[in-house]
Amino acid sequence: MFKILVSDPISDLGIQQLTEASDVTVDKKTGLSEDELIAIIGEYDGLLVRSQTTVTEKIIEAGSNLKVIGRAGVGVDNINLEAATKRGVVVINAPDGNTITTCEHAFAMMMALARHIPQAYAKTTTGVWDKKSFLGVELRGKTLGVLGMGRIGSEVAKRAKAFGMNILAYDPFLTADRAEKLEVTLASVDDIVQGADFITVHTPLTPQTRHMISRPQFEVMKKGMRIVNCARGGVIDEMALVEAIDAGIVAGAAFDVFEKEPPQADHPFLSHPKIIVTPHLGASTVEAQENVAIDVSEQVLHILRNEPFINAVNIPPVAPSVMNKLQPYFNLGEKLGSFASQITNGAINEIHVEFAGDLSDVDTQPLNRYIVKGVLSRHFGGDVNIVNSMHLAKTREVNVVVTKASKTKGFTNLITVKLIAEGGEERLVAGTLLQGYGERIVQLGKFPVDIAPEGNQILISHNDKPGIIGNVGTLLGQNDVNIASMQVGRIVVGGEAIMLLTVDKEVPDDVLVKLAALSEINTAKEVVLQ
C-alpha cells in the first residue's frame, strides 16, 4: 500500500484517481510548516503540491520512503530539484494541463484589445454612454504574428484561423513542412514585426528572447498594430512599448505578465488608457486546475507502480555502474550540443549523435538527454531540462538519431554532434575527454582543432591568406577584447580555414560585424559556453 501526502489545496476531482486507487492511501494536510512536514514526510511514498509548499532539502532528506514529488502545475521553483535528484526522487509536473486555458486567455485578451472592452465597460459603469470613443477593429482579414509555435502558440493559431485571420508564425524549430501542416506561413521575427496587425507572444524567456521586441523593432513596425503577451514578462521591452504607444506606432497592448511580478504601483502599464492588464491569469480556470492535478496524479501512480511515466523534470534513477561511466561526459555532451546549436542557422530538422570508443558499449540514454538539452537550450532556456529535452525535440518534430562506432580516430572516446537544418545546412562538432586536459573540442566540421569548450569564443571562417590572424588580433585589441587562446584549422594551404578564439568577455555585436567585414573573412560568430 502506497501513502501519498497532499500538502496544498487541490480539488478532490483532480486527485480522484488517487483516492479511488485500491493500492493508495491519500492524506490531505495543508498549511503545514517545514518542521511539521519534516516530522511526518518519512511515512509517505509520494508528495503532491501546488505552489504554496516549499519542498526544501531538509524535507526531502527526511522523506526516507519518498519516491515521487508531483507539482500540480508547470513551474517547479518551489521544489529543490538537486536534492530530489541526489535522493533518487522523481519530480514531475503538468506542462500540458494549462495549454487550452492559456491559449483562450490570450485570445480573450486579443479580442478585448480589438474592441476596447475593459475601457468601454469601465466608462459605461460610471454612467457615461459613450459609443464614439471606442471604435474597434475586426479580426477577420487581419494578419496575426505568432512568436513561438509550441503547444500554446499552435492552439492560438488554430483559433485565429477560425476567425479568418492570416497567420505569420515564427519558431526556431518551425520547419516549412510543419508550418504547412499547421496551415501557417513560416516567417522571421522581422517579417512578423513589419507585416502583422496583431502580435501574440508564446516563447520562454531566454537570453535570446529577452526584449526580442524593443525599440529597433517598434521603429519598423506597421503603424496601428496591437500586441498581446500571455507568455513571459521580459520578452517585450515594456518601456519601449509605452514609448511606441505614445508615439502612435502601436494602437494598444494586452499583458497578462510583467518583467517583475507583481509590478510596482507606479508601473506605466497600470494607468495607461491603451494597455489592458491582468494578474497572470493564463492558467487560472477551474478546468486547468483540475487538469494539471489529474495529469500529475496519473503520473504519480505510474511511478509508484513502476510503470512508464512522462513529464519528469529531473533525471530518473540510473544504475550506478552506468552512471559512473557516463557522468564525466554529461557536461561535455551538453556543451557540444550548445556549440553546434549556436553556429547553426535556420530551423533544426535532425540531431545526429555518434558515440565512439568506450561509450559505444554503454546505454547512453541519460547522456543523449544532456546533448539534446544543450541543442535546445539556446531557444528554450530554463524550460528545457535533462528529462524533458527528448520530449521537447519530439513535439518540435526534431528527429534525434543516435549511432555508435568502435573506431575513434585515435581517441579513447569521441562524441560527435551533427545538426541538420532546413535547407540541408549541416554543422558538426566533436569532443572528447583527454587525460590530464579534461574536456576538449577536437573537430569543427571538417577541420581538426583542440580547444576547451568554455567561456566566450569567436568562430571565424576565412580564406587561408597571410595577415588575417594579425588583422583579427589588431581589431579585437582596438575594441578592448583580449584573446586567451587561439586555434587555426585548415585542410590545404591557401584554401578554406577556420579560426577559433577564446576571449575574456562577451563580444559586442558591432565588433562581430567589423570582423566579418575584414578582407578574406567569410563569417564571424560568437559562441558562449557557460
**CA–CA gap between residue 460 and residue 468 (Å, rounded):** 11
- 239/451 Cα distance (integer angstroms): 42
Q: Is 345 left (phi over 0), alpha (psi -120 to 50) or beta?
A: beta
Cell of 25: 492511501
Q: Which of 191, 187, 259, 245 is nearest to 215 (CA)?
A: 245
Give residue for cell 501513502: 3
Dist. CA 338–CA 374, nearest whole Å = 4
Q: What whole-number distance in Å separates Cα of residue 420 and Cα of residue 415?
A: 17
* Of 519, 388, 383, the residue nearest 463 (C-alpha): 519
Burial of residue 82 (number of CB atoms within 10 Å: 0-12, 13-18, 19+): exposed
| Burial tier of 239 (Cβ tally within 10 Å: 0-12, 13-18, 19+) | middle
- The one catalytic residue in 20, 140, 261, 307 is 261
Helix intervals (H) in 41-150: 57-62, 81-86, 99-115, 117-124
Contact status, residue 389 vs residue 416, Cβ threshold 8 Å: no
Number of alpha carbons in the 13 Å side-chain half-sphere of residue 188: 6
DSSP string computed for 214-281: SHHHHHTSPTTEEEEE-S-TTSB-HHHHHHHHHTTSEEEEEES--SSSSPPTT-GGGT-TTEEE-SS-
Instruction: Give the residue from 435, 296, 431 showing the smallest Cα distance to 370.
Output: 431
DSSP three-state, residue 182: helix
Provide the angle, in degrees to the nearest 10, between the axes of the packed helices 509-517 and 468-478: 150
Task: Give every strand in the sheet of 447-451, ordered side by side.
Answer: 399-405, 348-357, 413-421, 426-434, 438-444, 447-451
Q: Is 261 assigned a catalytic role? A: yes
What is the SS3 assignment for 471? helix
Distance CA 325, CA 328 (A): 7
Are the C-beta atoms of 375 and 419 separated by less than 8 Å?
A: yes
Tell me which of 280, 302, 352, 490 is the catalytic residue.
280
Residue 246: partners with Cβ closer than 8 Å, 6 or more residues away: none
- What burial letters (b/e) apply to 101-110, b meaning 16+ CB within 10 Å? bbbbbbbbbb
Query: 161: buried, middle or exposed (CB in 10 Å: 19+, 13-18, 0-12)?
Result: middle
Determine whether 267 is an active site residue.
Answer: no
Q: Please pick, among 232, 369, 396, 427, the residue that the annotation labels catalytic.
A: 232
CA nearest neighbour of 114 among 290, 269, 253, 321: 253
Active site residue 369: no
Evaluate whether 453 touches 332 at the Cβ level (below 8 Å): yes
Distance CA 377, CA 238 (A): 25
So which residues are the catalytic ones?
232, 261, 280
